[in-house]
Amino acid sequence: MWHGVLSDSRFHSILTKFDGEMAAQAQKRGCECGGRLHCASYPRKPRGGPGDLGPQYQRRWSYCCAVDGCRRRTTPISVRFLGRRVYLGIVVVLATAMQQGLSPRRIGSLQRELGISVRTLRRWQQWWRETFPCSDVWRGERARFMPPVEENGLRQAALERFEGAAGEPVFRFLRLLAPLTTTSATAMALPTR
Q: What is the number of residues in the chain? A: 193
pLDDT digits (tens, 9 = 90+) for 9-37: 888 889 999 999 999 999 999 999 999 99
Residue 127: Cβ within 10 Å count = 16
| Amino acid letter for position 54 | G
Please tell me the pTM assigned to this model: 0.83
pLDDT, the chain, mean:
83
Alpha-carbon span 75 to 23, nearest angstrom = 8
Closest CA to 41 of 17, 58, 21, 28: 58
